[in-house]
Amino acid sequence: MTGFGDASTQSDGVHYSVELRSLNNKYFKCSVRLPDQFQGMEAELEAKLRKRVSRGSFTMTLKFKTTDAQAVSRINDNAILTYLEHLETIHSKIQDRAVQIDLTQLLALPGVLQPAQDEASLLAKSKPVVTKLLGEAMDRLIAMRATEGQALAEDLLKQLDLIMDRMANIGERAPSVIEEYHQRLRARMDELLAKAELKADEAALIREVAVFAERADISEEVTRMAGHVAQFKEIIANGSDTEPVGRTLDFLAQEMLREANTIGSKSNDAQISRAMIEAKTAVDRIKEQVQNAE
């Protein structure tokens, strides 16, 4: 499910901000964007997010900005003096040439400018702050996803009710299909036998009707479909806030689709076929929607 959460604070002259974004994905996928100084925290931050969510494509972004004197880089005096000594040595060999030294260009040489504080101390000082901000951002993101989840649950319940309504229609219609087949078969046999002046074999007629009834029997599939729908509704109503249920719902949706396909393949009646198409459309929608459920 989609969601967004952010948090920011200022500590010891440093401004930190954490942003979390999520998009639909049936699996867990995380992209962590950190400043170079914080690359060592990537695995730890992703693990903390994974404990709170199980599905979705997440983008985690950390930004920080030093707002006080600590932001000023230090000049390594020894390094710049060493560079100057080398330049003086070179100048002594070419005294017939005028040489000008621009000190500002020396600042770009490797090792001259150094961070105000080393990465290890920055990381140690920042880790508790970043961890706290990530927790706050996750709380906001999960709250937004929960709101979307409620709307998703309402839509799923509507589709489940539609399926059960069509299953009820199919259950009422199914016995009539057998009787109508019996009547059509008898009428056809009587018509053909009348021309030949023969008498219908009742035993053969009954056997044929029995074979058709066995082949077209969908009572088990309708019962299993009702069971899947009931379990689906129970999970929606009593879903855990700590245990993800998305994969369970996904499995149930696949089983519902299996039953729908079986009923459709056994159907020999236009009314049942029409009702089954509507039910299968609802199942397809459910199957698509639960890909995003947590």
Would the pLDDT of 279 be above 70?
A: yes
Strand order across the 56-66 sheet: 3-11, 14-23, 56-66, 28-33
Mean pLDDT of 99-103: 65
Q: Are residues 84 and 14 in the same domain?
A: no
Mean pLDDT of 62-80: 67
Contacting residues for 142 by C-beta, under 8 A, at least 6 apart: 3, 5, 52, 53
Q: What is the pLDDT of residue 71?
A: 47
Q: Are residues 106 and 219 in the same domain?
A: no
With the C-alpha atoms ordered 134, 139, 141, 142, is the resulting torsion angle positive or negative? positive
Q: What is the reported pTM?
A: 0.61
| Residues of the domain holding 210 | 148-292
Q: What is the pLDDT of residue 135?
A: 93
Would the pLDDT of 18 be above 90?
A: yes
Domain holding 234: CATH number? 1.20.140
Structural domain count of the chain:
3
Mean pLDDT of 224-229: 91
Q: Are residues 134 and 155 in the same domain?
A: no
Q: Are residues 159 and 256 in the same domain?
A: yes
Q: Are residues 25 and 110 in the same domain?
A: no
